[in-house]
Amino acid sequence: MKDIVNVLNEANEALNNRNRTTSNSPIGNELACVATGGGLIGGAALSISAILAGGTSAAGITSGLAALGGGAVAVGGYGMVGGLAIAGAIFVAPAVILGGGTLYFLNKKRERQLKEEKKSLLEGCKVTLTAIKTALEQEKDATKERIELLIGFKILLQRYIDNLESDLKEA
C-alpha cells in the first residue's frame, strides 16, 4: 500500500508541475516502461532471511530433543519426535490458549482498519486518475517524455483501482 501512496504523491506532483517528465521524476523510468508496455522494473525485491547461528549445533539440538522425548527410540524412548511433542506442549500450548482470543480480536480490528485504508486509497486513485486523463487531453502538445509519464500514471492507477476494488469485494 505504500507503493500506491508513493505513486499517488508523485502523480499529484506531476499534475502540479507540467515540467515533470520521465527524465526528472523519481519513478520516471518505471513509468516510461509501463507506458511503453514493458512492465514495472524493480517492483519486487527478494528478502533474504538471516541464518540462525550462535553455537547451537545440529547434534546438540537433536540430542536435547531425544533426551526430552525420553531417550532414543532404540532404547525404548520416543526420540526427537517425542521431544518435539513435549516441547510443544510445554511452550506452545499455553501461548495458544491464552493468546488465541486476543489475536482473534486484534486481527478483526486490523481487518476493519485495512478495509478503510483501502477505501481511502481507492478514492484517491479514482480522483487522481480523472485528473491524469484530463491532463492528457489538455497537454496533447506536450513532450514525448511528459506524455509517457502521464500514460504510465494512468495505467498504474487503473491497475491499483482494479486491485483495490477486487480486494474490497472479497472483504
pLDDT number for residue 32: 74
pLDDT number for residue 126: 97
Q: What's the Cα-to-Cα distance from 12 to each of 16, 61, 124, 159, rounded to whole Å?
A: 6, 56, 10, 17
pLDDT number for residue 26: 84
Counting as low any pLDDT under 50, the low residues of the chain are 39-56
pLDDT number for residue 48: 23
Determine the residue type at 14: A
pLDDT number for residue 80: 65
Cell of 137: 487531453
Q: What does the pLDDT look like over 18-32, one tens digit per residue?
A: 999 988 988 887 777
Return the closest-CA partner of residue 7 out of 160, 117, 163: 160
pLDDT number for residue 101: 63
Q: What does the pLDDT look like over 40-55, one tens digit per residue?
A: 333 322 222 222 333 3
